[in-house]
A = this chain, B = another copy of it.
Amino acid sequence: MSQPAAPLPSDPAEAMLARRRALLGGSYRLFYERPVHLVRGEGVWLFDAEGRRYLDAYNNVPAVGHSHPRVNAAVTAQMGLLNTHTRYLHEAILSYSERLLATFPEEIAQVMYTCTGSEAVDLALRIARHHTQGAGVVVTANAYHGTTAATVEISPSLGPAVPLGRCVRTVEVPGEGPRMGRVLAENVAAAFADLARHGIRPAAFVADGIFSTDGVRAEPAGFLQPVLEAVHAAGALYVADEVQPGFGRTGGAFWGFQRHSIVPDMAVMGKPMGNGLPIAALALRPEVGERFGREVRYFNTFGANHVSLAAAGAVLDVIEAEGLQANAARVGTQLLEGLKGLAGEFDRVGEARGAGLFLALDLRDGETGAPDAALATRVVNSLRERGVLIGASGPAGNVLKIRPPLPFASAHADLFLAKLREVLAGTA
């Protein structure tokens, strides 16, 4: 605004890019070499400004599908009634909390609300440190847990410009195998021992139950059991970050930790909770929050506002009514088998893995077998040009991340696999 604006490029997308850079600054990044300009969404489909259709195989926030009529109706109805905060009595927060907690093991019997997963992880850290009176936190080597000052300190995936906290240690996540849980537990125990050696008392182990930024690690189910034991043996709390695997995405269980038959001390949820309306939460064992609750008041202005709660209630309705968890299991299995078929077909396709509708496919150099991030980038962008949206992730950037809205049907999986095969045949 302070300088006369430079003339905008004549290409509409270029003009939008120039305005973005000027208005939002350098921290905002876009997906794809040719960013997508979306204007409409419906179910598993997104539409750009030219009316072109994209199969959404990436977005987990619109978990019950883009612009779901039942969520829209719930939001519209609540907007016409009331939208305030938690310092007045209101039935909706109570009935939603009862319904949400009914999806958890009985030990997890309280819930606190935030607007974002970042805020929920941040609150989990505050409560863990208040309860334990320790500060030490252990996370996985390429973890991402949020964007607040406290959560970026436990998010090594943000890279070296964002320092880890001085009371934070990281552990490698081993590849799949029968000793995987035991090795991870040993790594966690060693990290807490190192913290103790530096005079830092333990507070929490925080882990995404599907390890989405550590390359996606789902099998063997149960591998988190020895990890939970190691965390408790160190005197720390286990915080399950369910922002990625929660709300039925992994198919076999409603929560990621349930696949491993563990009961964490706290569970953090976010993204899909309101299908895009900002709402997130922390569910916890009451005894873990007791001291914090007694000594610290908590208020989050928009946390559990009536409109976001209405959306969240509709999301649970739709997951049940449309059988979306079972769909994630069924279509996820179909997709995983298809991905494994591609691994057999192409030298540059490595391991396929994941659970339900959270799947990963390694791309690699066909000769050395080394991770090939450049190939992953080419595949992601070629798919975008063919009308299919996915992303790449993982410590080496070579992991295709496939994480569609939950109504992804068998025919969508067929279409996705066909397009991916086409792209791999052309680029791999």
Contacts and interface: CB of A to CB of B under 8 A. Distances in A.
A278 B305 contact: yes
Nearest to A82: B41
Nearest to A308: B278
> How large, as a class, is the contact surface on chain A?
35 or more
Interface in A27-45: 27-31, 35-41
Interface stretch (A65-73, A331-339, A368-376): A65-73
Interface stretch (A83-91, A210-218, A358-366): A83-91
B84 A80 contact: no
A38 B90 contact: yes
Nearest to A18: B94
Please tell me how many copies of the chain the complex holds.
Answer: 2
Contact of A24 (B26, B27, B35, B111): B111
Interface string A106-123: 111111100111110011
Contacts of A278: 115, 277-278, 302, 305, 308
A307 interface: yes
Contacts of A13: 89
A270 interface: yes
Contact of A38 (B35, B82, B294): B82
B67 A277 contact: no
A78 to B, nearest CB: 9
A265 B286 CA distance: 42
Interface stretch (A142-150, A189-197, A407-415): A142-150
A418 interface: no
A296 B126 CA distance: 24
Contacts of A293: 25-27
8 contacts: A1-B101, A2-B109, A23-B101, A23-B109, A37-B88, A84-B276, A116-B300, A148-B148
Please give me the 9 A-B residue pairs with the lowest Cβ-Cβ distance, nearest first: A26-B293, A27-B298, A149-B150, A278-B302, A161-B295, A278-B278, A37-B89, A83-B276, A25-B293
